[in-house]
Structure 1
Amino acid sequence: MEWIHSLGLFLGSLIANTLASLSGGGAGLLQFPLLLFFGLPFSVALATHKVASVALGLGAAATHIKQKSVTYQEVAYITLVGSIGVIVGANLIVLIAGDIAERLLGGMILALGVYSYFKKQLGQQATPRNRTWLGWFTGGIGLLLIGIINGSLTAGSGLLVTLFLVRWFGYSYKQAVALTMICVGLFWNGIGGVAIVQAGASIYWPWLPVLLLASFIGGAIGAYLSTRLSNQRIKRYFEILTLLVGLKLLF
């Protein structure tokens, strides 16, 4: 039965991470429930999922850096301010009722998807704004709060970052997805995984190689597709993922 579990995990993780890399988040929609379905306790599944998601960031980063989709300054800024929140969130998860928090997050993500749907021109062109010191400072507070969500919950924070970058800083969807995959997928999830383990959770090592491989391949495939598709198409995938993730967290 072990090889059946491994095959199921690989296919599920591959699909989840390809979609996440293409639309800017949501890998936990399928990958994390799979780990629970195959019998891992919540905290073990969360830590394993966080660590495996680092490979999603690696796969996406390899493509986006090659395409010069982002700058190192932007990556450093988002990584730094968000990582503070991630560490806080990883230590808060043991104090917060998970079901209530996930429903609140689900409602928020669903609302963001609806908002994006009705804002037809949102993120279709890069329209830089809030790039003064005050704008970066205020945006940093927003990213820190999303980092807390990332550190404490399993799915959806990447989608929040993607839309936040589009709405607050005026990035196009392509730019926002690239930044999210590198900063959240690689750095936030890596730091979150370490923080969760230090907080007392453990990783299920036997399944980690399969998850890492599927996450890396899925991240690379999704990033490749995102550089080839239009902002309108990526926006539509983003809205579909927010609908699915939001409904999953709510119900």
Structure 2
Amino acid sequence: MELLLVSLASLVAGFVDAIVGGGGLILVPALFAVFPTTHPATLFGVNKSASIWGTAAATLQFARRVQMPWAALLPAVGLCFAGSMLGAWTVTEISPDFLRRVLPLVLLAVLAYTVVKKELGRHHAPRFTGRSEAVAASVLGVVIGFYDGFFGPGTGSFFVFLFVRWLGYDFLHASASAKLLNTASNFAALLLFAWTGHVWWHYALVMALANVAGSLLGTRLALKHGSGFVRQVFMVVVTLLILKTGYDAYLR
């Protein structure tokens, strides 16, 4: 029964994550609810071992249909991986608790900006080209990668928002690019969790298959309906993230 419940959660998480990020909002609470006495590091390890396959599958699907700026993204992938590793190491030295109270406010600002700027992310008009685009993507990759390794909630949504706001992508191209970098940060975290024995591989395999299935469906919808659809899902996911992180920070 436990495997069935977390696999269903992984399916839904893969669906949401493929469109705009935020799958951890679904899968992580489900893991904590089903396995309340398990060490958190193990549950995070199981989450990463399932979600990385969904993000990788989404990246491949997007890459077939969306023109990806590989020259800018590939250097960013390496720095995102390094940033996530550094963040994961840092969290062993410094508590991330101070971020819990700040995060809902940051997400609220992101949501408000997106709502007010109605044309934000509707048109693909990159602000940088060549080396400048690679530098901008790399800065984004290392900073958000570090955040993912150090704390994590909302990583996919931050990637999407910054690709839209800073690099000038539309929501569809931003989501595609975010999936590639999120795969790198997930892989770095998974390596650390696996190295320390915090992955249940017998659960991870079934959950990964479910996550990929959800991811393929979500990617198909995003490609079919375009940036406007992705923008709407983005606002819904960020709203839910605000409620979840706000509850964790101020009410729990």
Q: Where has structure 1 moved over 4 Å in runs of 4 or more?
A: none
Q: How many angstroms does 1:82 deviate by?
A: 1.3
**Cα displacement string for residues 145-188 of structure 1 (whole angstroms, at most 9, x for unaligned residues):** 1111111224311110111111111111000001111221x222
CA contact (8 A) 1:61 1:181 kept: yes
**1:105–1:26 Cα change, 3 Å:** same
Structure 2, unpaired ranges of 5+: 248-252
- How many residue pairs were aligned? 245
Q: Partner residue of 1:145?
A: 143
Asked if residue 8 in structure 1 is aligned to residue 5 in structure 2, the reply is: yes
Equivalent residues of 2:13, 2:214 under 8 A apart: yes
3-state DSSP of counterpart to 2:166: helix
- Which residue of structure 2 lines up, in the alignment, with residue 118 of structure 1? 116
Q: 1:239 aligns with which of 226, 235, 239?
A: 235
Q: 1:69 to 1:155 in 2, by over 3 A?
A: farther
1:217 pairs, out of 197, 213, 220, with 213
Pairwise CA distance, 1:19: 1.2
Judged with a 3 Å threshold, the aligned counterparts in structure 2 of structure 1 residues 73 and 105 are, in CA distance, closer, same or farther, namely same
Q: Which amino acid aligns with 1:182?
A: L
The answer to whether the 8 Å contact 1:16/1:27 transfers is yes
- 2:204 matched to which residue of 1? 208
Secondary structure at the aligned position of 1:150 is classed as: helix
Equivalent residue number for residue 194 of structure 1: 191
- One-letter code aligned to 1:192: A
State the alpha-carbon separation in 2 of the partners of residues 122 and 176 from structure 1.
Answer: 12
Structure 1 unaligned spans of 5+: none
CA distance in 2 between partners of 1:155 and 1:78 (Å): 20
Distance across 1 between alignment mates of 2:100 and 2:199: 22
TM-score normalised by length of structure 1: 0.89
Offset at 1:196? Answer: 3.7
Return the letter of the residue paired with 1:187: A
Instruction: Please report how far the alpha carbon of residue 141 of structure 1 lies from its aligned counterpart in structure 2 after TM superposition.
Output: 2.5
Residue identity over aligned pairs, in percent, reads 22
Aligned CA-pair RMSD: 1.9
Q: What is the DSSP-based 3-state SS (H/G/I as helix, E as strand, rest coil) of the residue aligned with 1:54?
A: helix
1:28 counterpart = 2:24: yes
Select the residue among 50, 73, 76 that pairs with 2:74. 76
Are 2:15 and 1:18 aligned?
yes
**Matching of residues 166-205 of structure 1 within 5 Å:** 166-184=164-182, 186-198=183-195, 200=196, 202-205=198-201
Q: Which residues in structure 2 correspond to 1:25-174 (within 5 Å)? A: 25-39=21-35, 40-131=38-129, 133-134=131-132, 136-174=134-172
**1:77 deviation in Å?**
2.8
